[in-house]
Amino acid sequence: MSLKYDIIIIGAGPAGMTAALNCLRAGKSVLVLESDTFGGQIALSPRVENFPSYKQTAGAEIMDKLYEQIVDWGADIELENAKSAVKTGKKFVVTTDYATYECTSLILATGCKHRHIGVAREEELTGKGVSYCALCDGAFYKDEDVAVIGDANTALQYALLLSGYCKSVHICALFDRLFADKALVDLVKARDNVDITYEIELKEFLGTDELSGLRFENTKTHTEHFVDCKCAFICVGQIPQNAPFKELVNLDDKGYVIADESCVTSCDGVFAAGDCRTKKIRQLTTAAADGTVAAYAACAYVDKINAEK
C-alpha cells in the first residue's frame, strides 16, 4: 500500500529542502526523497562567502541547519532513489528502489552534477584547488594564477570573470579551437592576462595537500605541457539528474526541465526548482529562491485540487 502525501519533493539540496520548509509551514504533509547526499553539491564546498548573512561558512553547515529545520517541522525524509513518477488522474505515483508513494503535487529538485574530467586525485583536491564554479570560488584566488579547463561558453565566461581579479588565467582546450560564441571568444582574446593553449589533455593534478599546477600532454606531439596555478576550474559540462522524469515533463536538449522563474513545468501539478531546471544562474541563493517559488505554487495546486473534491 502506498504512503500518501500532499507534496513529494525529489532532491534534498538547497532547492528541495527550502521547498520542503515552505510547504511544511503551509501545513502540508511532505516527503523528501534523496538518492545521494543530503545538501546537494554545495554541501561539498568547504568555504561559502556569497550567501547572505554569512561572512564565511562551510556549505555543509548551512545544509545541516536546513536539514534540522525541516525535520523539526515534521518532514518525512527517505534516502531512496526515485526511479519514476507518473500522473494517475489527479494523483502522482512515485516509485523508488524501495517503495511506492502517492502525492497531489510533485516538486523536482534533482539538481545536476558537474561532469568530472576523470583524472586521478580530482575528488581529493576538490575544494583544495580544484573547483567547478568560478562564481562560487573565483574570488578566493584574487591575484593568483588560475586555469580554466574547457572550450565552450561556460569556460570562457569563467575566464572573463576570473581575468578581472586574478593575476593570470590559462584556458586549456582539448581541441584545436574554441566552441563558444564569437563574441565571447573575441572578448577573451582581448584580455592581456588570459592565454589559450590548444590540443592539450590533462594528465595529472600536481601538489600535495593543495593544487600547485597541472600536467598536460599535447594530443598531437605527445609532449608534456605544464601550467602553474593555484586553482583549476573544470568546465566540461553538467549532467542534470532528470532522466527518470523525461516522460512526465518536457526536457530541453541538454536534459534540463523546461521551466522559467515560475518553476511551472509542462505537467500540471509538477514544479521544478534549482539547478535541474532551465536557467542562467545556478547558485545557492537562486536554488533557495526556486524552492520558495515552487513550494508556494505546489501548495496552491494542492489547495485547488482539494477544493474540487
Which of 80, 64, 83, 82 is CA-nearest to residue 17? 64
What is the Cα–Cα distance from 169 to 151, expressed in whole angstroms? 13
Taking only the tens place, the pLDDT of each residue in 131-153 is 998 888 999 999 999 999 999 88
Which of 287, 295, 297, 292 is CA-nearest to residue 14? 287
The three cell numbers locating residue 55: 561572512
What is the Cα–Cα distance from 249 to 283, expressed in whole angstroms? 23
| Domains contained in the chain, CATH given | 3-114+238-307 (3.50.50.60), 130-234 (3.50.50.60)
**pLDDT confidence of 56, banded at 50, 70, 90?**
confident
Q: What is the pLDDT of residue 272?
A: 98
**Mean pLDDT in the chain?**
94
Taking only the tens place, the pLDDT of each residue in 261-273 is 999 999 999 999 9
Q: Does residue 46 register a pLDDT over 70? A: no
**How many CA within 13 A on the CB side of residue 253?**
0
The three cell numbers locating residue 263: 518553476
Which stretches within 3-89 are classed as H helix? 14-25, 59-72
Over residues 112-129, mean pLDDT: 93
What is the Cα–Cα distance from 188 to 157, expressed in whole angstroms? 9
172-186 core/surface letters (b: 16 or more CB in 10 A; e: else)? bbbeeebebeeebbe
Cβ pair 30, 23 in contact under 8 A: yes
Ramachandran assignment for 183, one of left (phi > 0), alpha (psi -120 to 50 degrees), beta (any other)? alpha
141-164 core/surface letters (b: 16 or more CB in 10 A; e: else)? beeebbbbbbbbebbbbbbbbbbe
Q: Does residue 55 register a pLDDT over 90? A: no
88-92: long-range contacts (C-beta < 8 A, 24 or more apart)? 90/269, 90/305, 90/308, 92/8, 92/269, 92/270
Q: What is the CA radius of gyration of the chain?
A: 21
Cβ pair 255, 240 in contact under 8 A: yes
